Amino acid sequence: MKKEIRIFFTAMMFLTRLPVPKMTDHSQEYLEKSARYFPLIGWMVAIISGVTFLVFNKYVGEDIAILASIIAGILTTGAFHEDGFADVCDAFGGGWTKEKILLIMKDSRLGTYGVIGLISILGAKFLLLKELPKFTPDIANPSINIFYNYRHFLLLLIAAHAISRLMGVFTISLFDYVTDPDGSKSKPVTARRPSVVTILVAVLCAGLPVVFLSWHFALAIVPVIIVAYQLARYFKKWIGGYTGDCLGAIQQVSELTFYLSALIIWRFVL
């Protein structure tokens, strides 16, 4: 149990800016096993974002609450995934060969494609999150417990963050990490494929929030898997596999795909 706790804190240190115990380090052994807790880290980011939304929504207003929740998530992760998405936009938008794409991707400067990509994905996230609370059935007759009133919104938020990070684990399992001959600003999470135990724990952590929702929302996982897999195949086609930035892009796109799928299910299925 002590070892698993240390592995969890390694994942927490790798994916967020949250404080961790001093015993936590970048040990390759623990880093390789930390992928099993990536979805659980998604829980933490979602809870922080969700509570931020509830506070601002109560005292300020919904639009500002949505914006505040997005900012809270970015501050929690240090824009870890957003930075990867922006680098991918720059690299695949401006590079036409594997060498050029990898060269642009490891450049710390942000280009036109990256700026446009960030504006687009943050704008899409804002608009999608703005719609989700409107489908909470308890808003018309709210109870004293605000968490209960917004339970569907909070559970969908947790599911989106957890499942989108699970897609990164799947990518690591199915595709090869691409190394740049001249060096890279990021190292692979693991030099080996994740073990069966790691994948099972990750799947369990990612799927648990959906259990507390209507079974229809499980359908939202299907388009997420399809989109993430096709995006990973696109990376493989151009550079032969994935990089850390590619995993960040997959997480961001998968999160948006889940929100969109959940909204469609809520409007046209339920």
Per-residue pLDDT of 147-164, as tens digits, reads: 888 999 999 999 999 999
Is the four-CA dihedral 231, 106, 178, 25 of positive or negative sign? negative
When mean pLDDT is compared across 79-83, 108-112, 188-192, 244-248, the lowest value belongs to: 188-192
| 139, 149 Cβ separation under 8 angstroms | yes
Mean pLDDT calculated for residue range 6-14: 93
Instruction: Tell me which residue has tokens 């599911």.
Output: 159
Mean pLDDT, the chain, rounded, equals 91
- The first and second tokens of residue 13, run together, are 């240190």
Q: Say if residue 37's pLDDT is above 80.
A: yes
Task: Kindly state the percentage of the chain with pLDDT values over 90.
Answer: 76
> What's the rounded Cα separation, in Å, for the pair 122 and 181?
33
**Cβ neighbours for 22, distance < 8 A, ≥ 6 positions apart:** none
* pLDDT value of residue 180: 60
* pLDDT value of residue 185: 45
pTM metric for this prediction: 0.93
| 228, 170 Cβ separation under 8 angstroms | yes
Nearest to 228 by CA among 264, 180, 174: 174
* pLDDT value of residue 11: 93
- The first and second tokens of residue 220, run together, are 């939202």
Q: Could you read off the pLDDT of 163-213 as tens digits, one per residue?
A: 999 999 999 999 999 976 455 445 566 667 888 999 999 999 999 999 999
Give the distance, in angstroms, between the CA of residue 151 and the centroid of all CA atoms in the same chain: 20
- The first and second tokens of residue 133, run together, are 């609370």
Mean pLDDT calculated for residue range 59-63: 93
Nearest to 235 by CA among 218, 253, 221: 253
* pLDDT value of residue 1: 76
